[in-house]
Amino acid sequence: MLDTEPDLSTNPFSHIDFTSGAVAAVSGGSDSTALLLLLKHHLDRTAPATRLLAVTIDHGLRSGSAAEAQTVAKLCARLGISHRILTWSGPKPSTGLPAAAREARYRLLAEAAQAEGIGMILTGHTANDQAETVLMRHARDEGQGHAGMAGRGLAGMAPATLYDWRAWIVRPLLGLRRAALRDVLRRENVGWADDPTNVDAAFERPRMRAALADGNGARRIDDALALATHEGRARSQLGLAAASLIGEFATQPACGLIRLDPLLLNTGDERAAVYALRILLATTGGIAFLPDQARSEALFGRLRAGFLCATLSRTVIDSRRSGIFVRREARGLPAAATGSILWDGRRRIALNDSSGALLIAPFGTAAAKRLATGDGKTPPSLRRAALAAEPALWQAGECLGLPGYGLRPAMVEVRPVVTPFDRFLPSFDLAPARAVARLIGAAPVPPLPFSGHSAG
């Protein structure tokens, strides 16, 4: 416990609900070490019975990483905090190493949290990290000629991000500067490790960090943080508007088929309508990234101009008098597979088969033709086309059926996923993710671990 109250203007943990415990990601650097001390201080005062597990990920990329992990273990032992060291094993990529290490880190942290029955992971990202993120994204967009079009990215890191639809990654220190956190550590006589890769100019973030160390850096950081705040609020508001439109104008007449009421094209809020369309196209096509903004706007304009049939993001958009229908296109569907998998980016499948004789493969046109019938509102041909692209259960070349259409749930369980938000769901995008989950029957979004505060 800290000897004195931290010299911070606000308590960064006051809005977080710790009922189900917390995993603290602690690398041994100054930011995460300060996170650990401040968190321990907060919980000792407000909720001493809270389950707290500190986890250090040893990426195995430097000779000193194992010793740094042991230093964190000793600090945790002194503070009475449970601690675990997890190692990123296996081959490391020759390119894209920071992104691969970040993915491995989140995966290992989520596995540790799940093993303890904890749904929240706290990280030590600071205001400095936020400013660097925003400025890097801004520089990339300018370099690609997209200046002014990247509001989603310029929101920076969200206060909370749902990882793999199961664990919330919460960033309570985004409002605090690194210098203030290091002051806390110095007063408590607690040291920290300096990762040499943080100053390696071979990587983008260290280059940005060095650029912000000059005389003009403080003002650039302030400007970047103000931009992140503005864009984060705008992104959340756009998401709320898009969610409302999805709830009002989108229905699912058959598995894999979404119908949009043509009134969506004339709501008076084109930005929100295009955003809703982009999310639905990515979800229907099983694409992790939203379709290109300019191409989506062009498609929206063509839909307004009259009936059409087009393809974008592996999704067929078929506009008729009876509505605008979107479904997965027939090309590029997965080959036969077995086991528990994420199928085509659209369906999470658990196959209950110890024999290995059962396979998951597309339902197919012939089978869909026998199954699909009209409902008086949806053309049967569209229902057949959508069902043909759905995963079905096969054995020895024979189709046993389609989940939800007579096939016993004990054999196979299929759950739709909201593809663009399935891996990482920033709290900015919580409203549209919830709306699409309700629409397609996906698992509900786990509740935010915040109490009485907005996530965006």
Please report, for the domain that includes residue 155, its CATH number.
3.40.50.620
For residues 131 and 128, what is the distance between their CA atoms, to the nearest angstrom? 5
Low-confidence winner among 109-118, 188-197, 234-243, 328-337 (lowest mean pLDDT): 188-197
pLDDT at position 196: 67
Q: Are residues 62 and 145 in the same domain?
A: yes
Q: Are residues 289 and 350 in the same domain?
A: no
User: For residue 278, what are the domain limits?
Assistant: 250-328+432-440
Give φ, ψ of 431 to 5 degrees: -65, -50
pLDDT at position 366: 82
Element containing residue 100 per DSSP (H, E): helix 97-115
For residues 290 and 419, what is the distance between their CA atoms, to the nearest angstrom? 9
pLDDT band at 143, cuts 50/70/90? low
Q: Are residues 412 and 436 in the same domain?
A: no
Task: Work out the burial of residue 96: count CB atoms within 10 Å of its CB; fewer than 13 is exposed, 13-18 middle, 19 or more buried.
Answer: exposed
For residues 356 and 370, what is the distance between their CA atoms, to the nearest angstrom? 27
Q: Are residues 322 and 175 in the same domain?
A: no
pLDDT band at 148, cuts 50/70/90? very low
Q: Are residues 49 and 178 in the same domain?
A: yes
Whether 382 is in a domain gets the answer: yes
- Whether residue 171 contacts residue 24, with contact meaning beta carbons closer than 8 Å, is answered with no
Task: Work out the burial of residue 309: count CB atoms within 10 Å of its CB; fewer than 13 is exposed, 13-18 middle, 19 or more buried.
Answer: exposed
Element containing residue 99 per DSSP (H, E): helix 97-115
pLDDT at position 406: 65
pLDDT at position 351: 87
Q: Which two tokens stand for residue 376?
A: 């008086």
- Whether residue 1 contacts residue 44, with contact meaning beta carbons closer than 8 Å, is answered with yes
- Whether residue 7 contacts residue 183, with contact meaning beta carbons closer than 8 Å, is answered with yes
Q: Are residues 221 and 151 in the same domain?
A: yes
Q: Are residues 188 and 314 in the same domain?
A: no
% of the chain exceeding 70 in pLDDT: 91
Domain boundary among 232, 259, 287: 232
Mean pLDDT across the chain, nearest whole number?
A: 90
Domain boundary among 232, 266, 299: 232
Reduce the DSSP state of residue 445 to 3 states and report it: coil
Whether 95 is in a domain gets the answer: yes
Q: Are residues 383 and 309 in the same domain?
A: no
Task: Work out the burial of residue 310: count CB atoms within 10 Å of its CB; fewer than 13 is exposed, 13-18 middle, 19 or more buried.
Answer: middle
Reduce the DSSP state of residue 252 to 3 states and report it: strand
Whether 307 is in a domain gets the answer: yes
Whether 102 is in a domain gets the answer: yes
Whether the predicted pLDDT of 242 surpasses 70:
yes
Q: Which two tokens stand for residue 205?
A: 């973030």
CB-based contacts of 295, cutoff 8 Å, min separation 6: 312
Cα end-to-end distance, the chain, whole Å: 31
- Whether residue 427 contacts residue 159, with contact meaning beta carbons closer than 8 Å, is answered with yes
Question: Each residue of 76-130: pLDDT tens digit?
Answer: 999 999 999 999 988 888 888 888 989 999 999 999 999 999 999 999 999 999 9
Whether the predicted pLDDT of 57 surpasses 80:
yes
Whether the predicted pLDDT of 1 surpasses 70:
no
**Number of domains the chain contains:** 3
For residues 228 and 426, what is the distance between their CA atoms, to the nearest angstrom? 14
For residues 59 and 98, what is the distance between their CA atoms, to the nearest angstrom? 11
pLDDT at position 149: 42
Give φ, ψ of 22 to 5 degrees: -155, 145
- Whether residue 108 contacts residue 130, with contact meaning beta carbons closer than 8 Å, is answered with no
Q: Which two tokens stand for residue 299?
A: 């498609």
Whether 453 is in a domain gets the answer: no
Q: Are residues 57 and 198 in the same domain?
A: yes
Whether 333 is in a domain gets the answer: no
pLDDT at position 79: 96
Whether 455 is in a domain gets the answer: no
Domain boundary among 205, 232, 259: 232
Beta bridge partners of 259: 251, 325
Element containing residue 425 per DSSP (H, E): strand 424-426
For residues 393 and 398, what is the distance between their CA atoms, to the nearest angstrom? 9
For residues 34 and 6, what is the distance between their CA atoms, to the nearest angstrom? 10
Q: Are residues 322 and 355 in the same domain?
A: no
For residues 210 and 229, what is the distance between their CA atoms, to the nearest angstrom? 23
Q: Are residues 263 and 322 in the same domain?
A: yes
Q: Are residues 258 and 382 in the same domain?
A: no
Whether 294 is in a domain gets the answer: yes
Kindly report the number of other CB atoms within 10 A of residue 46's CB atom.
Answer: 12
